[in-house]
Structure 1
Amino acid sequence: MRDRHPRAVRAARLTLHLLAAALVLGALLLPNTAGALRPDRFTRIPAEAIIGAALLPALPRRPRIVAAVLYGVGLAVLTVLNLLDIGFKEYLGRGFNLVLDWGLLDDALAYVEDSMGPATATAATLGAITLALLLVVVMALAAVRLSELLARHRARATRGTLVAGTVWITCTALGVQVLGTPVASDRASAAVKVQARRVVNTLHDEAQFEKVARSDTFAATPPDRLLPDLRGKDVLITFIESYGRTALEDPVIAPGVTRTLDTGTETLAEAGYRARSGWLTSATFGGSSWLGHSTALSGLWIDNQQRYRTATSNDRLTLTKAFQKSGAWDTVGVMPGVQKGWPEAQWFGLDKVYNAFQLGYQGPKFSWSTMPDQYTLEAFQHLEHGKERDRGRNLMAEIILTSSHQPWAPLPEMVGWDELGDGSVFEAIQQAGKDPGSLMTDTTKSRQEYGRSVTYSVTALTQWLERYGTDDTVLVFLGDHQPVARVSGLRASRDVPVTIVAKDPKVLERIADWNWTEGLRPAEDAPVWKMDAFRDRFLKAYGSVPHPTGR
């Protein structure tokens, strides 16, 4: 072949050399944010390439091949981490954590399966694994090919390396840029440092957080000194999925949501209810809702899975557990998103939990959401809120509303409350809804449908309160986190609305000094607290007496 087609062989060899070089340089220069994936980012001079070109040809052949393989495998691993960073920043507004985030890949798979079907989830998983393994092999082969090429032409390689090194040092010293982009790059080294720093900080944080979690302002408060000013009230703490500040301020999303909140304020006022609203800064963004729930209810800043495990393994007095400990309330959890065992119920202090299979729903799923919020609330009314309770006891419920969970397609619609039945009425609505795949790559449509989903959830909740609320009903509702970054934006805050609604004027008088906005819609300049401050402020506002202990 070489003798008969020397030009073709040389062309093929040159092509492979160029592809190998492009692959290695691309890996060295690959940014870790989607917005930085621009052509000018790949026209820089990477320091790591110069170092490799200087060291590898100087080694004997066998050690050189081993070193080149390790170099290529390292680049493949770094590429995977950069791609994970891009994905996490697009959805969760933060980078990938090597220590903590592998478990979230299972959640991502479950989300794809619920949203797109098992076949798509399986294909995506196999595709991702195959691509990762292929990347390791191809990158190692590329590094070996380039190292052998440099070794065969050692003299020219040495001169070229010296020139490149001199240019890199000069450009670094002088800050030379082309069209606003630095010519010299140490992107790969910087990425390794970032990942290493995350690991070190995570390991250090574990020990520090464990100490913080042991100290609790209300740990030893006697039961009769917990929430005395809410005795006789049915208290509902309701989280609305992805209900963030973006829903009230984004020009595409906000009009429908704010109109719904203002209408709800007026309608509830006619029924005798008043409301106050503010902002909380969530511990999570774009997902991992349980981190938001646990932060708001525990008074601890729980912004990663490690902290969640640490917190839920001790006997922290959560806000829901305070109701339970007082002895004045039956505590219930309504969790339509829970589809497997949930041992955290004991930590939250819930006497009884209704999961996705215990609410009697026989209708279709709406993508990830197992049932429409309207049905969830009607089931809660039938199973708990509408029942007679033992004398002297009231109801405290933690309710999770899931219809506003991404991908926001298909979406449920409101039906007559008397038509809900077992949920089969939603079959036609689900079938007529949008395909979730149609929103995955369309940011504008995602924002529009996200707004519709929040409007639906708020409407369902306010209509339920108007229909079933009593003089003694106190509703607390809040978002768990902002929607994903491709909807809310990479620079969006982590703020979520929080609202307290009641008929009894004394309930809202207790929080008058919070300076919250009147109504269901918090003003733009309403107070903003970190979400972990909510538990203590709520407990103190309603008469709880601090009795700390630190163990």
Structure 2
Amino acid sequence: MSLFIRSRQPSDSTEGGADQDGAPAAAEDAPPGAPVPAPPGWFGRRHRRPRTARGVTIGTTVLAGALVLFALLVPNQVERVNAVAFLRLPAEGILLATVLLALPPRFRRAAAVVSGVLLGLLTVLKFVDMGFHQVLARPFDLVLDWILLDDAADFVRESFGRGGQVLAVVGVIVLFLGVLALMTLATVRLTDLMIRHRPVAARTTLVLGVAWITCVTLGVRITGVPVATKGTAEMLGNRVEQVRAGLRDARVFEKEAAVDAFAKTPPDQLLTGLRGKDVLFTFVESYGRVAIDDPAMAGPIDAALEDGTRRLRDAGFTSRSGWLTSPVTGAGSWLAHSTFLSGLWIKNQQRYRSLTTSDRMTLTSYFRRAGDWRTVGIVPGVRRAWPEGEFFGLDHIYDSEHLGYHGPYFSWTPVPDQFSLEAFERLEHGRKDREPIMAEIILASSHNPWSPIAHMIDWEDLGDGSVFHGIKKEGTDPKEVWKDPEKVRTEYRRAIEYSLRSLTEWVERYGDEDTVLVFLGDHQPVPTVTAGSTNRDVPVTIVAKDDKVLDRVAGWGWSDGLKPAPDAPRWGMDTFRDRFMTAYGPRGGEARGPAPQR
């Protein structure tokens, strides 16, 4: 009788009287020889087709194990995803199995669910990291990068239309919820399996733990990759430190921003070496060092720079070039722009918000304070209200809606560079009886995805931009281009050539004795183009017809022409503002100490 009673009690391995596969136990009160009715639903099908049911059960368990291992072992960078990455022993998985086996039953299920959700979030974070590494060459910042997700959605809409944006957002949400659900179910299933086979699970966990320690001690590797890994724990530890650093950074930045060497300089002592000149600060989107150094691009880009140098020289202009190190790579143009203009290292969105809500003077706002310039912005990439324009000291802003353009978008690019420059001439530079201009001009044609791109036409034929409808139809399809990295690199190079030619032809056509052009790249392009390089250098060039302008920077050691030499000076982008204002201040090109390297 006692044996009978024990057999009727639910055990730790078959909760609720279920058999080892989870089916309800058959009724034990049925008379001998009586047929046992098949349970309804799934359990009924298992009763009728036991082999199929067992195959499904085994397959589901294997899939659950694969999902959990995937979450623990998958790297957070696309280039590190290979077969070897999954042939490792994760310390976190061994520890998790140990904890779940040790917990009492009333806590075990809740722990399994929480662990599954956390593994799902970990997997999502690794996927997001992959995207950030592909575009920004860095992982996702859990404190500062949430605003960039909205920018990413806008980029998809502008590149692939509203429908593409909706599909992308819906797909991301479904994927997010699906990963959380699947990872939770997988963890719960594996936990149930371990409990049903506790002795085997305990022995296996012990063996794996010993194997992990042995591999660490002996340094066992497969093709250079350690077999024993605690990569997930290290990644999470780095994220905790990243969060702490992000919270500390606000205090550090506040101290840095409080220092401004020109804050007390009287207006009549500012930028005296440029009085009467039109000064144009022009950013060329994604114009990075790779365009000049990469052998696959160097030939055509060199030819474009040499041709531009020759044409400008023939028109009476001289140029000098060097290198600046940008705070960002791949994207984040506004961070580079504000670094260049503010003289502060604006490396994240938190610093950008702090800067633009402060009273810090920028290079452009110092021109306005001096009182001798009308300050304008040509910002075709801006398609909505831009309150930061006032912070940067711009008297008037021409965004994409106010340049008179009636042509098509070129993927993300709202206005082709040649038209933007012609609009600047029509709206500001070409006006009669005007005061000198300080202009911030942002050229956007070389913005990712570089397909389709415009090409140069006769300046007289630009009209209202309608001519670009036909030019866009002749261009490439971004969906096809981005299937092949070499095609991406080719289109990037062509886009940079177009931007450079637009700019140099404008100077050749409209520049005069009072024109001073400073143009630079804002950051390197995405890793698809840079082939994973971590270099953040961009070219910077000063062009002028008046020799006195370039005499003031003779001590900088910059290279002659539009192309900086490989060994030309390399400064942090945040050092340019003070160097420039010193060179063009009352004491001219007074020597300064070496620029800090980033």
* TM bucket normalised to smaller: over 0.9
* Rounded Cα–Cα distance in structure 2 between residues aligned with 1:137 and 1:172: 33
Q: Secondary structure at the match of 1:253?
A: helix
Q: 2:399 aligns with which of 340, 347, 355?
A: 355
2:440 pairs with 1:398: yes
What TM-score results when the alignment is normalised by the length of structure 2? 0.90
Q: Secondary structure at the match of 1:278?
A: strand
* Rounded Cα–Cα distance in structure 2 between residues aligned with 1:117 and 1:526: 42
**Structure 2, unaligned runs of 5 or more:** 1-44, 589-598
Higher mean C-alpha displacement, 351-360 vs 213-222: 213-222
Question: 1:71-470 to 2 correspondence within 5 Å?
Answer: 71-390=115-434, 393-470=435-512
Contact preservation (8 Å) 1:89, 1:490? no
* Rounded Cα–Cα distance in structure 2 between residues aligned with 1:275 and 1:341: 36
2:68 pairs with 1:24: yes
Deviation per CA, 1:406-437, whole angstroms, max 9, x where unpaired?
10000101111000000001110101111111
Contact preservation (8 Å) 1:32, 1:85? yes
Deviation per CA, 1:50-85, whole angstroms, max 9, x where unpaired?
111111122233311110111111111111111111
2:514 pairs with 1:472: yes
1:544 is displaced (CA, Å) by 5.5
Q: Secondary structure at the match of 2:46?
A: coil
* Rounded Cα–Cα distance in structure 1 between residues aligned with 2:440 and 2:509: 19
Amino acid at match of 2:78: A
Q: Secondary structure at the match of 1:280?
A: strand
* Rounded Cα–Cα distance in structure 2 between residues aligned with 1:84 and 1:418: 47
* Rounded Cα–Cα distance in structure 2 between residues aligned with 1:247 and 1:80: 33
After superposing on structure 2, the runs of 4+ consecutive aligned residues of structure 1 that deviate more than 3 Å are: none
1:253 is displaced (CA, Å) by 1.7
Partner of 2:582: 540
Q: 1:509 aligns with which of 541, 546, 551?
A: 551
Percent identity over paired residues? 53
Contact preservation (8 Å) 1:218, 1:545? no
1:174 is displaced (CA, Å) by 1.4
Q: Secondary structure at the match of 1:475?
A: strand
Amino acid at match of 2:553: I
1:9 is displaced (CA, Å) by 1.4
2:94 pairs with 1:58: no
1:158 is displaced (CA, Å) by 0.7
Q: Secondary structure at the match of 1:3?
A: helix
* Rounded Cα–Cα distance in structure 2 between residues aligned with 1:488 and 1:304: 21
Contact preservation (8 Å) 1:226, 1:545? no
Amino acid at match of 1:225: Q
Amino acid at match of 1:183: V
1:190 is displaced (CA, Å) by 1.3
Contact preservation (8 Å) 1:221, 1:545? no
**Structure 1, unaligned runs of 5 or more:** 547-551
1:545 is displaced (CA, Å) by 7.3
Higher mean C-alpha displacement, 112-121 vs 289-298: 112-121
* Rounded Cα–Cα distance in structure 2 between residues aligned with 1:142 and 1:545: 71
Higher mean C-alpha displacement, 55-64 vs 80-89: 55-64
Q: Secondary structure at the match of 2:467?
A: helix
1:376 is displaced (CA, Å) by 0.3
Q: Secondary structure at the match of 1:477?
A: strand
* Rounded Cα–Cα distance in structure 2 between residues aligned with 1:466 and 1:58: 78
Amino acid at match of 1:511: V
Q: Secondary structure at the match of 1:365?
A: coil
Count, aligned residues:
544
Amino acid at match of 1:345: G
* Rounded Cα–Cα distance in structure 1 between residues aligned with 2:241 and 2:491: 38
CA RMSD of aligned residues (A): 1.1
Between 1 and 2, higher relative CO (CA 8 Å, sep ≥ 6) is seen in 1
1:35 is displaced (CA, Å) by 1.0
Partner of 1:518: 560
Q: Secondary structure at the match of 2:295?
A: coil
Q: Secondary structure at the match of 1:334?
A: strand
* Rounded Cα–Cα distance in structure 1 between residues aligned with 2:448 and 2:223: 38
Partner of 1:496: 538
